[in-house]
Structure 1
């Protein structure tokens, strides 16, 4: 599911479950955390995160999850832990985002220093179809970059932005043609690895101080909101509809 390679001082972590659009189970989140820990221990000077197949990461893997017994806080706590590890990684980090970047996938991108997206990528909040709430820091990102009206528009409608639209709106670093995405991201990471990484880390720490208070407070609040929604009829219906591949029938309860 998760692989790590190191070459010339740069690490590459790959989400490798293309059949599930790299959706992440609790076990996969643990593997991802371990991969970052191993990369950190190896002393790399830059890191790239990417996904195999048609998507970067479509969010949480909810196949087989029973909403009645779902440990939402446990799962989102693990997500927050890996996001914090990514954000604190002691070297410049880069993400190559293509296809779906949703839910937890969006959180991984938020925690990464520099995000390059395929112009055809899909970014946003699909939770309107699940009876659930956007998580993994998504509210902080959308509100900070888009303002309250457009953030809520995307949340209420479930409409997704293309990678080009997301970059134009200021969500991520830059848009790249899909067939050039991995090459460009690797080149930028290699350039950073060959640069003054201690100076880069000083800037990273300064930027982190500016964003951390809001981001981590929102991540925690999102987890609590998701746990409360678990007991609603719409949450159970949303999960069932997704697993049964049908349109949900929400009642507002």
Structure 2
């Protein structure tokens, strides 16, 4: 179900089970984590995640699951969360293309991705009121941080879904556009980033995570930036960037520290 291709320092991971809207069971989640591990081992400089067919990912594949005996805690804690951690910690910039259903586990995959571009058809929210369950996969943290508590509970209580355009307008993700444009747009952005100073990008990725997760204030954030800049100073890409600027030419970055 999970396809991985690597070309020109870019990994592309595809959820390829369109007949079930790319919903994920334990086996396919293990495949997804393995694909990220393989891409990391290959030393790629950027990664793109997308779903085949008419949806990104409709969530957990619950076909055959008995709700009376389902070990929901075990699935979320032992199966899903490790994959989300692997995705979030990927050692290169990551991008996702989202369209159609992006729900439950599918929303979690987007939360674990650095940059998300969505098609206007995307459906984002919390459908769990229809299942007698609660929003999961990091949805509470995402919604409260970017929408506030009132809008979060509105979405949870009503099970109403936001379009891709509405989600971007509300600050959930980066950009929205017509479905037939979003993949080519994202591939172009990923190629551009892969050719950039990826070590510097990783420093910013770590700083953003620290500001978000540790709630760093201004001066602690500045201290983190100072340390990151000191670590980058003198590296090949740092030297190349400065020299290219001084010589008024385009830099050629190698992604090396």
Aligned to 2:162: 161
Aligned to 1:115: 116
Over aligned residue pairs, what C-alpha RMSD do you find? 1.0
Q: How does 1:1-253 map to 2 (within 5 A)?
A: 1-77=1-77, 78-212=79-213
| Greater RCO structure (CA 8 Å; 6+ sep) | 1
Q: Which protein is bigger by CA-based radius of gyration?
A: 2
For 1:177 and 1:72, the matched residues in 2 are separated by 36
SS in 2 for 1:23: coil
Query: How far apart are 1:143 and its partner, in Å?
Result: 0.7
Query: How far apart are 1:67 and its partner, in Å?
Result: 1.3
Give the TM-score of the pair, scaled to structure 1. 0.83
For 2:15 and 2:46, the matched residues in 1 are separated by 17
Give ranges in structure 1 of 5+ residues lacking alignment.
Answer: 215-253
- Number of aligned residue pairs: 214
Deviation sequence 1:202-244 (CA, Å, 0-9, x none): 0000011122358xxxxxxxxxxxxxxxxxxxxxxxxxxxxxx
Going from structure 1 to structure 2, the CA distance change for 1:207 and 1:179 (only over 3 Å counts) comes to: same
Query: How far apart are 1:150 and its partner, in Å?
Result: 0.7
For 1:33 and 1:212, the matched residues in 2 are separated by 22
Give ranges in structure 2 of 5+ residues lacking alignment.
Answer: 216-257
Deviation sequence 1:9-42 (CA, Å, 0-9, x none): 0000000000100000011111101110011001
For 2:57 and 2:214, the matched residues in 1 are separated by 26
For 1:153 and 1:92, the matched residues in 2 are separated by 33
SS in 1 for 2:145: helix
Q: Which runs of 4+ in 1 moved over 3 A?
A: none
Deviation sequence 1:138-196 (CA, Å, 0-9, x none): 00011111111111000000000000000000000100210011111111111010000
SS in 2 for 1:201: helix
For 2:194 and 2:20, the matched residues in 1 are separated by 32
Query: How far apart are 1:72 and its partner, in Å?
Result: 1.0
SS in 2 for 1:6: strand
Give the TM-score of the pair, scaled to structure 2. 0.82
